[in-house]
A and B are shown apart, each in its own frame.
Chain A
C-alpha cells in the first residue's frame, strides 16, 4: 500500500453558536498518494465542509488530520501550498479578464513569472478560452467561469487536488474533457485527487475508491465493486441509494390535490 496523503481522525465541524448544525461528525478516513477518491452524499451531507476543512479554509471543531504529512492546524501554510482547490461556489474577480485572473492566482501561489505566463497561455488554450482571454469575467457564462476556476486550481501544479462538483455546470463535451483531464492528472503525473460529485458515471469511471457521507457521517468507504458487493446491488446508483437510506415512498403529486375549480 502506498503512502497516505490525507489522514483524518474523528475530524468534526459544527456551525452556529452552540454548534447546533453538525456539518461533519467524527470523520476518520485515509486517502492514499496517487489515488483518486470520490466523495458522495446527499445535499447538505458535509462534502463541501470536508473539503473546506482539508484546505484549511475553516477550522475543525474537533479531531485532527494530516495532509501530505502536515498537521491541519499547525502547518496550514504548507498544506495550502501543496493543494489546489476548485471550490463549490467560488469567488472570482469579475472585473478581471481570464488572463488577469489566472495571473493573479499564480501570484497568490508564488509561481515564478516566466513559468506563469506560459502556463496561463497553455491552460487557456486547453479550455478553449484563449480567444476570449482578454474579456472581463463578468461577461462569461457560468460554465466558462467554471473552466477558468479549474484552470486557477491547477495554476501552481499542486500534488493534491480537490474538485468540488467540477462538472456540474459544464456542457457535455467540456465535462468529458474535465473528466479526461482528471484521469490524465492521476494516471500520468501521479496527482492525488479528491472529487465531490453527484454525477455517478464520472465518479465510477475516475475514482479508485469512494466514500459516502450522510448527515455528516461517513457511512461507507470502498471501491465501486466493494460497495456494490456490500449492498448486493448491481449498479453504483442502486448501492448509493441503498446506503443513503433509499428513496422514501412519497406521494409525489399530493401537492396538487386541492385544485381551484
Chain B
C-alpha cells in the first residue's frame, strides 16, 4: 500500500514542533483542549453574564462589525505572515537534501507542511475563537451558531495559513537559489512582520478604528477589508449576536456567507496544489559564489577606531561576517522601523514624549538582536576562539566593540528623532538625554552579551533568540517601575537608577557569561 506522502511529512512536522514535550507530545492537543472547553462553557459565560447589558449595547452599535472585522483580519494577516516568516528563516537545508532524494512531489511537501503546522497554530485560534463564543453565549447563542462562529475563525485561519505556506514555498524556491537568496529570505522574514506590527499599533491607537467608523459611506480601507474572506465572517458573527437562538435566528444570508468562506478555502487549496507542482520546484539549487568586496573606508575606520593591530583585524573580521548577512541588517531595520512607528503613534504627547519612553523598551530588542548573533554559528565557531591563546577574551572584546559601533549611532538617531516630538525641549536637555541614551545602550550591549553567553542560542530562529531578549525587556520594565517609585526624590534619581542597575547587572551578567563560555563543550 502506498502511504500518503503529505501525511508522512505532516506527522514529521508535528513531531518536530512538539519535540520539547517528549513522550507527552501526542497528549498535547488534549492537555490544551480540556481547559479550553471548561473555560468556554463554564468560566467565561459566568463572567460575561455580569456584563450582559454592555455586551448587548456593544453588538447593537455599528462599531461591532468593524471591531470583529479587524480581529479576523488580524488573524488572517498573522497566519499569512507566520509561515512565510518561519520558513524563510529556517535553516532546513539539511532536511531538504533528504527530501530531495525521496520520491516526492512538491505538492506533498507543501501540503505536508500545511497539515503539520495546523495543529500547532490551531491551538491559538481555538483559544481566540472560543473566547469569543464564550462571550456571546450569555446572549443566548444557539449551538449551531456557536459552532459556526468557531468555524468562521478556523476557516479564516486555514485560508491564511495555506496561502502563507504556499507563498513561503514559492518565495523560497524563487530566491533560495543562491547564498544571497537565502540571506534575502532571512532578511525578508523579519521585515514581513513589520506591516503587521504597524497595523497593531494602528489598532491600539484607534486610528483604523475611527477611520472605519467615520466613513458612513465606506472608505477605501473598509472597502479593502470587505474583499477579504475574513470580513465575510465578521458580518455573520455580528448578526448572530443580534439574533441569538438556534437555527431560527438565521436568515439565508448567514449560511450563504459561511459557505462562501468554505468555497474560498477549498478553492484556494485546490488552486494551490495545482500551482505547487508547477511553480515550486524541489530541484537542488545552484550556489552562486560571491566575491568579497575590497575593504573600503568604512572598515578602515573600524580598524582604526578599535585600535588597529591584531585586535583591529579581529573586530573588522567579526564586523564583515556580521555586516554581510542581510538578516542582521534586516533585524536592525526592523527595530528602527518599530521605533519610528512608536514615535509616530505615541509621540507628540503632552508630557516628556511617550515615544521617548517607549524607546526604553525597544533598546533591549535592538541590543539583543545585534549581540544575539554571537553564538548562532554554533559551538564549532566558538572553538576557533577557544583554541587561540586568550581567545575567549578577544571574542568578547571584539564583539562589544563591534556591537557598539552598530548600536550607538542608531541609538543617537532614534532618540534624536523621538526627542523632536517633545514640545519645547531645549538643545541642552536634549543633548543630555541623547548622551544618557548612549550610556544606557552601551551598558545594554554588555548586558545582552552576558546573557547570550550565559544562555547561548545556537540557531538563527528569531523565536529562540527571543528568550534572552525577553529577559532583558522584563529587566528594563522592572528598572522602570523602580525608577517611577524612586522619582519621588526627583526625576533625575529615577534616570540614574535605571542606568546604574543596568550597568551593574550587565557587568555581572558578562562575568557569568564569560565563565560559561569558557566551560561550554
Contacts and interface: CB of A to CB of B under 8 A. Distances in A.
B384 A91 contact: yes
A57 B291 contact: no
Interface string B367-402: 000000000011111111111111100100000000
B389 A90 contact: no
B101 interface: no
A107 B310 contact: yes
A56 B391 CA distance: 11
A95 B322 CA distance: 8
Interface in B295-353: 310-311, 313-314, 317, 320-321, 324-325
Contact of B521 (A15, A83, A91): A15
A59 B520 CA distance: 10
A92 to B, nearest CB: 8
B194 to A, nearest CB: 24
Interface centre among B289, B317, B378, B384 (most CB of A within 10 A): B384
A136 B387 contact: no
Nearest to A138: B179
B291 A134 contact: yes
Contact of B383 (A15, A87, A111): A87
Contact of B384 (A106, A108, A139): A108
Interface centre among A56, A92, A95 (most CB of B within 10 A): A95
A161 to B, nearest CB: 12
A159 to B, nearest CB: 14
A113 to B, nearest CB: 8
Contacts of B321: 93-96
Contact of A81 (B324, B385, B389, B521): B389
Contact of A96 (B287, B320, B386): B320
A104 B290 contact: no
**Main SS of chain A's interface residues?**
mixed
B292 interface: yes
B385 A139 contact: no
Contacts of A100: 292, 317, 320
Contacts of A56: 386-387
A85 interface: yes
Interface string B35-48: 00000000000000
B288 interface: yes
Contacts of A113: 310, 313
Interface in A106-151: 106-111, 113, 132, 134-136, 138-140
B427 interface: no
B381 A104 contact: no
Interface string B156-199: 00000000000000000000000100000000000000000000
B248 interface: no
B516 to A, nearest CB: 13
A235 interface: no
Contact of A107 (B290, B291, B314, B383): B314
B289 A136 contact: yes
A91 B387 contact: no
Contacts of B389: 77-78, 80-81, 109-110
A101 B318 CA distance: 10
A219 interface: no
B217 interface: no
Contacts of B290: 135-136, 138-139
Nearest to B391: A108
Nearest to B378: A91
A104 B385 CA distance: 11
Contact of B377 (A89, A91, A139): A91
Interface residues of A, number: 42
B383 A95 contact: no
A57 B317 contact: no
A15 B377 CA distance: 22
Nearest to B310: A107
B519 interface: yes
A108 B394 contact: yes
A179 B292 CA distance: 31
Nearest to A85: B387
B487 to A, nearest CB: 46
Contact of A58 (B313, B384, B390, B521): B521
A72 to B, nearest CB: 14
Nearest to A88: B380
Contacts of A134: 291-292, 294
A152 B413 CA distance: 40
A103 B380 contact: no
A243 B461 CA distance: 46
Given A134-B292, A135-B292, A93 B377 contact: yes
A90 B386 CA distance: 12
A91 B381 contact: yes
B292 A97 contact: yes
A18 to B, nearest CB: 15
Contacts of A90: 380, 383-384
A107 B397 CA distance: 14
A55 interface: yes
Contacts of A87: 380, 383, 387
Interface centre among B320, B377, B389 (most CB of A within 10 A): B389
Nearest to B328: A95
Contacts of A15: 521
A80 B391 CA distance: 9
A16 to B, nearest CB: 11
B383 A91 contact: yes
Contacts of A107: 310-311, 313-314, 317
Nearest to B385: A108
Contacts of B310: 106-108, 110-111, 113
Nearest to B390: A77
Contacts of B324: 95, 136
Contacts of B377: 91, 93
Nearest to B520: A58
A101 B317 CA distance: 8
B320 A95 contact: yes
Contacts of A138: 179, 287, 290
Interface string A35-73: 000000000000000000001111100000000000000
Nearest to B395: A108
Contacts of B287: 138-139
A108 B314 contact: yes
- Pairs A-B, 7 closest by C-beta atoms: A91-B381, A139-B289, A91-B380, A97-B292, A107-B313, A104-B317, A107-B310
Given A57-B387, A138-B287, 14 more contacts: A15-B521, A57-B521, A91-B383, A92-B384, A95-B325, A97-B292, A99-B292, A101-B317, A108-B310, A132-B289, A134-B291, A139-B179, A139-B290, A140-B289
16 contacts: A15-B521, A78-B389, A80-B391, A87-B380, A90-B383, A92-B384, A95-B325, A96-B321, A103-B313, A107-B314, A108-B384, A109-B388, A134-B291, A135-B289, A135-B290, A136-B292
